[in-house]
Structure 1
Amino acid sequence: MTKDRSDSRRRNLVKNKPPEIVNNHVPTRVSSKTKQGLDFRTKLIGIFVTTVSVALIAYFRYQQLLKDAVITPFDSPKIIHDNSSSPLVTPERFWGSYRPHTYFGLKTRTAHSPVVGLMWLQQFTGKMPPPIRHWCNQDDQIKGYGWTAHDGVNFGVQEINDDNFVLNTSFVKRSEGIHGGDWTAKISVIPKESGSPIFVSLMFYIALDGQGSLDPVASKNRLTEINGHTEELGNFRMSFPKASAKSPKYHHLVTYTQSIEKLKEVMMGNIRVDAWDKARTMPYFILGGRMVPRDSPGGPNYAVHQITAQLPIEMEVLFESESVEDRSEPLSGDTYDKTLHKYLARFDQKFTDLFQLQRKGYNKSVTKFAISAMSNMIGGIGYFYGSSIVQSKYHKEPVNYWKAPLYTAVPSRPFFPRGFLWDEGFHNILIREWDESISRDILFHWLDLLNSEGWIPREQILGEEARAKVPAQFVVQQNRNANPPTFFLPLQKIISNMIKSNTDKDRAILKALYPRLKAWYNWYNTTQVGSQRSVYRWRGRDPTTNKQLNPQTLTSGLDDYPRASHPTDDERHIDLRCWMALASGVMADIARALNAEWEEYRATYQMLSDNKLLDELHWSKEGQQYSDYGFHTDKVKLEFPKVNPNQPPGQQPEKVRVEITNPKYQFVNSFGYVSLFPFLLKIVEPSSPKLFSILNNIKNPNMLWTDYGLRSLSRSAKLYKRYNTQHDGPYWRGAIWINMNYLTLGALNHYSFTEGPYQELAKTIYKDLRNNIVENMYRQYIKTGYIWENYDDKTGDGKGSHPFTGWSALVVLIMAEKY
């Protein structure tokens, strides 16, 4: 009641106030024009605010689009469909030795496959902790290991030459049922010499990666079988028949692991010491049984079967899919041996028919070396799943690429067990020759990693196990950085075969392939172009470093090969120009086959192949060679900086680059592999005097010629064998690399069969160089047990990573004369 009266009184007072003080405003007279002006200004302000708001929204959306571009897949149907690797579509390649970083390991081509594998240790050595072999590691100093036969589909046979014994591992598959079928692995261990007894423990395991279940069955310490289930495999059983050995002892581990890259560490954390018998006082290492942590989110996901015995030992592991309904007999014992021998016979016949090495004059021992090289290339194919870590200029911090699979060969099982873009092109020259369907599968997986910009990360580090093998500084991939587009080397023949076949399936693949190749090609032609027409420049060089004698060009694949000493935007890189000539020719062929616009590709190919224009931009009259061009001085050295009196004691500064003469724009006259590119990719005209000069430089021992192959950098070059930093030894500064020698032999073979004045010279050099390479690689293989990353130009000794059966395995095609 009180509130209503008060409000009524207030209204009356306001109503009776003089006009001049109502609402505390003095009344004014507003003209209609003024009122219109006010309305117009109000509208202008509204329009301005709206425009600015829309512009800001558009700007931020655009910025987000720029950020998202690097992690957005290319908008075109994928070549490899999502189910292409499933057991229903490609059952023959579902299971495989797709864990090349392990001495022996198997997995499926699925995103979260269970992994199986082998570890072993020699007992009674007195070492604490015991050295356990698992991941391929050069520090293990194993005297040789690798596949002696592997067809990429049905089987693989491997020999591992450890200190005191030889392990032989093999597996055979039967692709039946709807979940990938069965496989059996056999491991045998034989002592090298008779004498003191040798005791070895073999530990075969299975671990799940994120989903599924395991139900191990054990009796008296012996793990007899493991029943399991995953989404991809359905129900399965892994069984461990009794081993063939003298008085074997069995133990096992059933536990939980949070990540599959820690399998060895988890196992070692559950090892205990026991006594073998009263006569032996040294520790005997056994697994601890069922030890599932209380805080594990579920049941066990990791089980290990251990057998220990005096050598020799032979054991089998059987994997059987419950989806196989009409299994006649287990893939074991005599059945296993007969099946393996059948596949081996087919393999030998296929290798003989394809490469014809006996007709080329090679004996059984050298042919066996070639079979090993080819088998290790095929056996080094892995299957990875995960996301790359990438960065563009629009990101302050690295971001994750989308998750994707990658089926790829790897350069080196112990050192580079992951995918490298430019290596993969060389790999598939050989893989395509062996099995084109595998090669297509690999290359199409790579091309499906193309992002919306047309970029493919050059180094693929997918999954926990792969990332565990890579130093942190190499993990992040920058989207401005390229790698040589070597895919066009095998794609030349693959696309040619598809065009010839003209089947509906191949036409459909070509239509899916073309837009991706077009986007990739356009990316090179927008991000890697130089400062003038028909000039190209590798990105990724550091113009600010003073720690490197010559700033590296990792993106070119040739790392420390001498380029212009002071990187600028005006550099010209001849190797990239030649790669783009090759790419333009292949793009013209595929576009023409699809009735697409091909004339521009052909015109670009002709421009980049034009010898007159090439000579104007890259022929050094002073050096009489094809060269890079840039801001350069050859006269540089590394030395310690002057001591700072305020420097804390004990801290030695690193060496820095000192320029003896100032740089200037000039040709980089360091003769080597880069100088050969117009010749390597067959751009130089057969009648050109430049070809004669190149051939003479190749054959000159003071330049590239050695008794073991062509060295990467001339002995006369200023940076020959020079360290690039205080700690980084020479890499592409004199060593012999087999991929570049393969291209050289291909070019020599081409010019020896192409009419011109230098045919006979090319033929003579070809014959001598081929013999030198094959003889030295075979000699080093027999001496060391390995094929190597590169070879010393003075001694022929193998250097770098080993085994390196990536592009060094191209020796098989060199022997077979397939280019």
Structure 2
Amino acid sequence: MVRQRRGHGQQERGSSERRQLHRIDEDNEPRKSRMSWLWTIVMLLLLSVAAHLTYTGYLETRVTTRFDNNKMVTKSGLEVPQRYWGSYRTGVYFGMATREPHSPVLGLMWYQPQKLIQGAQSIRHNCDQGDNLKRYGWLQHDGVNFGIQELVDGPLTLKTSFVKRGHETCAGEWTARVEAVSNVEKEQELSLIFYVATEEKAEGWIQEDSVMRFEGHTPQLGDFFVTLLNYSNVLHSSQLVTKSEGLHKLRDTVMASLKWDVLNNNKFISLGGVLLPKGDNKPNFIATQLLVRTPFTMEVVYQRDEAGSGIQSFLASQEFDIELGRHSENFQRKFEDKFQLRAKGYKQEDVVDARATFSNLLGGIGYFYGSSLVMSKYTNEPRSYWKAPLYSAVPSRSFFPRGFLWDEGFHELLVSTWDVDISLDVIAHWLDLMNIEGWIPREQILGEEARSRVPEEFVVQRNENANPPTLLLTLKYMLTTMHGSLSKEHVNTISRFWPRLQKWFSWYNVSQIGPVPGSYRWRGRSVNAIHELNPKTLTSGLDDYPRASHPTEEERHVDLTCWMAVASQTMALIADKIGQNSERYSDTFATLSDPLQMNKLFWSESMRRYADFGLHTDAVKLGRKSKNDSTFIRIVQERPRLQLVEKTFGYVSLFPLLLCLIPANSPKLGDVLNDLRKPDLLWTPYGLRSLSTTSPAYLKKNTQHDPPYWRGPIWININYLTVKALFHYSRSEGPYKELAGEIYLQLRENLVTNVLKRYRETGFVYEQYNDKTGEGQGCKPFTGWSALVVLIMAEIY
């Protein structure tokens, strides 16, 4: 019994324990459930953070990710032998280089010894307005075979010319001739420094064979030789064999190595000889200095030892004269064939000046290699774009010796008229700079030599910033005006561009879209630009042209909307030409060019003109922060409101006309044409000024120190678009046909007469022209888009 009771008690205790454990389990269940949910939430949060970080990292890398691996430039270097060597170092007065990423370079420096001793003059090397050369530039240049340049420096005139030979199937050879004469009765002494240099990262080597001969080797060229020949009137020679920190430091390296030649009674300033670091016998910079008396001639012969047989026959002396004369004759013949200036009745001096203007554009085509510094809103600091080459014309050798996206579209209107192959090669290089988003950095500062000449604030490119898509203007020009010059191969090349052109067009439609359907807005205006009278719109290409006074997302810009209309029209044209579906682009063009839509967005009925829209007041001025503060800031005297910027009349107001988007029978065309001829608005005897005299910001500084830029001066690229549009309307049936024709003839005459007159007076084509006097101003020479005067003369639109 006892056992039974004990067993029963044990059973009861076991049941009680089980019930207690069960109750504990029941109490733990919610806790386990809560812990499980908590872990789930933590894991989800961790996964979300990881996903966010991964996605953010992906967004950060997009700005520096290529569009794809299919390059538009399918041939480069020695695969294009006819364009392998050239005067591609556009930022120096004379320099030769190849189209290789790390090319050996050859160049020229000079100085007048007496002035250098007096400290009045530095060594001439980089094209620099501060050198105050009376004039310089190419007189003839065909973009491939030869060039003739003249430089007037005080009492001296230097002439540099070069001729290439045998480059049809290989790199070939070339010879450069340097001549110096005195402009005054007295003979002049001159120090010429000819050099060969390579970058630190270049493969191969260079060495001096003698004072007058260099040798070198690169994997691309093999062995090559550079020989100085046929020199006379040499008073003294010296050499420098050293290392330079980079191509941008060559002149500094020379300056640091100059010393008195004590062996000649201190009469001469010599280069420093061999100045290599101890144990280093591999120079990257070798220079020969010749102190000469005018008149002086020297020939610099480059040869490539392709067969390993050493020096071949020289392209020099009379043989050089023959080849130079032959190329010059071919150039003049081709120039007349392309532009027909003599046939149009121009005088010989006009034709010569036009040839020089055009030659400066072709001679301003350079080859660059390096990476841009870029940023997006997802990056905290600038990042390096991928390293890439760029074959591109430059706006100005002295001030802008690098590539600019919207300038290039205007350049290629001229270049494609001359040589479609060169132009398509240039465009292919630009399209290879497109990232996965469809963005192309608008300013290309590639390599140390280019970057050394750009202010720090302009170096970094931001991927939300656009530029007018003028390369599409060039392609439209090719397919219409130049269609007879296009071969099947050319069309195939444009067909290869198609995926990138689509992506580029799409990028604009995403990144630059406006606040209302059918409108667009330039990015890049700063709401914090309190020191600017009107915050700049650098991305538009028109810089300080006055927009709405207070940048907001509500802005809509008439010029960008017009650019996108023509871009869609061009995309449809290209699609039809290469057998692609054009419907999407045709529909977009129909929407953007719809007169009702354009008028609704931009037409001011009270002022009878087109205008931007935004948060705006005209009652702004620059003034001191306080009586004791010399800093100027923008002072707003009236509350801004959303409105058309209708009292500002200038180039932006003309864009529906410039891009031929106004119907030929529209009364608004008559309003715009009538305004063109009013002297108090845009009309001058020298061309159309950029901003009317009645506009609030006319000729006003944008900051305390920045002079007006697009606020009155005459710009040739916009005047070219104007005469092009007038030419179009003068041939389109409508009530304003005769009026457009009259204005066309007057404006064309004014532009051509003034540009040629100023060129003869000064030896330069300018960035802009004064709207009151017609005098050239801004940087010089500016034979980028200002060279469009040649197309205006030729009436090629």
TM over 0.5: yes
Q: Which AA in structure 1 matches 2:417?
A: E
2:334 maps to 350
1:53 maps to 46
Using the alignment, how far apart are the partners of 1:469 and 1:386 within structure 2? Answer: 15
Q: CA deviation at 1:592?
A: 3.2
Aligned partners of 2:145 and 2:164 also within 8 Å: yes
Q: Which AA in structure 2 matches 1:253?
A: L
Q: CA deviation at 1:33?
A: 7.3
List aligned pairs for 1:180-259, cutoff 5 A: 180-195=171-186, 197-209=187-199, 210-211=201-202, 212-218=204-210, 223-243=211-231, 245-259=232-246
Which residue, out of 662, 683, 702, partners 2:639? Answer: 662
Q: CA deviation at 1:246?
A: 2.4
1:18 maps to none
2:66 maps to 73
Is structure 2 residue 92 aligned with structure 1 residue 107? no
Which residue, out of 422, 447, 452, partners 1:468? Answer: 452
Which residue, out of 116, 128, 131, partners 1:140? Answer: 131
1:782 maps to 760
Q: CA deviation at 1:817?
A: 0.4
Using the alignment, how far apart are the partners of 2:421 and 2:98 within structure 1? Answer: 18
Which residue, out of 72, 82, 104, partners 1:92? Answer: 82
Gapped regions of structure 1 (runs ≥ 5): 1-25, 645-651
Which residue, out of 140, 145, 150, partners 1:149? Answer: 140
Aligned partners of 1:178 and 1:324 also within 8 Å: no
Using the alignment, how far apart are the partners of 1:147 and 1:163 within structure 2? Answer: 18
Is structure 2 residue 256 aligned with structure 1 residue 269? yes
Q: CA deviation at 1:309?
A: 1.5
Aligned partners of 2:207 and 2:286 also within 8 Å: no
Is structure 2 residue 530 aligned with structure 1 residue 546? yes
Using the alignment, how far apart are the partners of 1:736 and 1:191 within structure 2? Answer: 36
Q: What is the CA RMSD across the aligned residues, in angstroms?
A: 2.3
2:683 maps to 705
Secondary structure class of the residue paired with 1:240: strand
Is structure 2 residue 732 aligned with structure 1 residue 757? no
Aligned partners of 1:179 and 1:234 also within 8 Å: no
Which residue, out of 335, 352, 375, partners 2:319? Answer: 335
Per-residue CA distance 1:179-205 (angstroms, 9 max, x = gap): 61211111000111222x311111110
Using the alignment, how far apart are the partners of 2:785 and 2:486 within structure 1? Answer: 31
1:10 maps to none
Secondary structure class of the residue paired with 1:206: strand
List aligned pairs for 1:148-547, cutoff 5 A: 148-176=139-167, 180-195=171-186, 197-209=187-199, 210-211=201-202, 212-218=204-210, 223-243=211-231, 245-274=232-261, 284-294=268-278, 296=280, 299-323=282-306, 329-495=313-479, 505-506=489-490, 508-547=492-531
Per-residue CA distance 1:386-405 (angstroms, 9 max, x = gap): 00001111111111111111
Q: Which AA in structure 2 matches 1:471?
A: P
Using the alignment, how far apart are the partners of 2:787 and 2:600 within structure 1? Answer: 37
Using the alignment, how far apart are the partners of 2:616 and 2:764 within structure 1? Answer: 39
Q: CA deviation at 1:504?
A: 6.6
Q: Which AA in structure 2 matches 1:73?
A: R
Describe the shift of the 1:774–1:573 C-alpha distance in structure 2 as closer, same or farther (beyond 3 A). same
Per-residue CA distance 1:380-438 (angstroms, 9 max, x = gap): 00100000001111111111111111000000001000111111111111111111111
Secondary structure class of the residue paired with 1:269: helix
Using the alignment, how far apart are the partners of 1:328 and 1:725 within structure 2? Answer: 61
Using the alignment, how far apart are the partners of 2:259 and 2:355 within structure 1? Answer: 42
Secondary structure class of the residue paired with 2:771: coil
Q: CA deviation at 1:234?
A: 1.3
Using the alignment, how far apart are the partners of 2:168 and 2:568 within structure 1? Answer: 45
Q: CA deviation at 1:57?
A: 2.2
Q: Which AA in structure 2 matches 1:546?
A: I
Q: Which AA in structure 2 matches 1:581?
A: A
Using the alignment, how far apart are the partners of 1:38 and 1:620 within structure 2? Answer: 71
Q: Which AA in structure 1 matches 2:83?
A: R
1:578 maps to 562
1:692 maps to 670
Aligned partners of 1:97 and 1:104 also within 8 Å: yes
Secondary structure class of the residue paired with 1:66: helix
Aligned partners of 1:147 and 1:376 also within 8 Å: yes
Q: CA deviation at 1:295?
A: 6.8
Q: CA deviation at 1:93?
A: 0.3
Is structure 2 residue 718 aligned with structure 1 residue 740? yes
Secondary structure class of the residue paired with 2:294: strand
Aligned partners of 1:692 and 1:758 also within 8 Å: yes
Secondary structure class of the residue paired with 1:189: strand
Using the alignment, how far apart are the partners of 2:69 and 2:24 within structure 1? Answer: 61
Aligned partners of 2:228 and 2:300 also within 8 Å: yes
Describe the shift of the 1:739–1:697 C-alpha distance in structure 2 as closer, same or farther (beyond 3 A). same
Secondary structure class of the residue paired with 2:260: strand
Aligned partners of 1:178 and 1:323 also within 8 Å: no
Which residue, out of 599, 620, 625, partners 2:604? Answer: 620
Q: CA deviation at 1:235?
A: 1.0
Secondary structure class of the residue paired with 2:549: coil
Q: Which AA in structure 1 matches 2:644?
A: F
Per-residue CA distance 1:229-251 (angstroms, 9 max, x = gap): 112221111111241x2253221
Q: CA deviation at 1:30?
A: 5.1
Using the alignment, how far apart are the partners of 1:381 and 1:42 within structure 2? Answer: 70
Describe the shift of the 1:314–1:642 C-alpha distance in structure 2 as closer, same or farther (beyond 3 A). same
Describe the shift of the 1:177–1:225 C-alpha distance in structure 2 as closer, same or farther (beyond 3 A). farther
List aligned pairs for 1:596-615, cutoff 5 A: 596-615=580-599
Which residue, out of 91, 107, 113, partners 1:117? Answer: 107
Using the alignment, how far apart are the partners of 1:385 and 1:802 within structure 2? Answer: 25
2:14 maps to none
Q: Which AA in structure 2 matches 1:536?
A: Y
Q: Which AA in structure 2 matches 1:66?
A: L
Aligned partners of 2:230 and 2:297 also within 8 Å: no
Q: CA deviation at 1:284?
A: 2.5
Q: CA deviation at 1:228?
A: 0.8
Q: Which AA in structure 2 matches 1:252?
A: Q
Aligned partners of 1:498 and 1:506 also within 8 Å: no
Q: Which AA in structure 2 matches 1:570?
A: E
Using the alignment, how far apart are the partners of 1:595 and 1:176 within structure 2? Answer: 36
Describe the shift of the 1:365–1:408 C-alpha distance in structure 2 as closer, same or farther (beyond 3 A). same
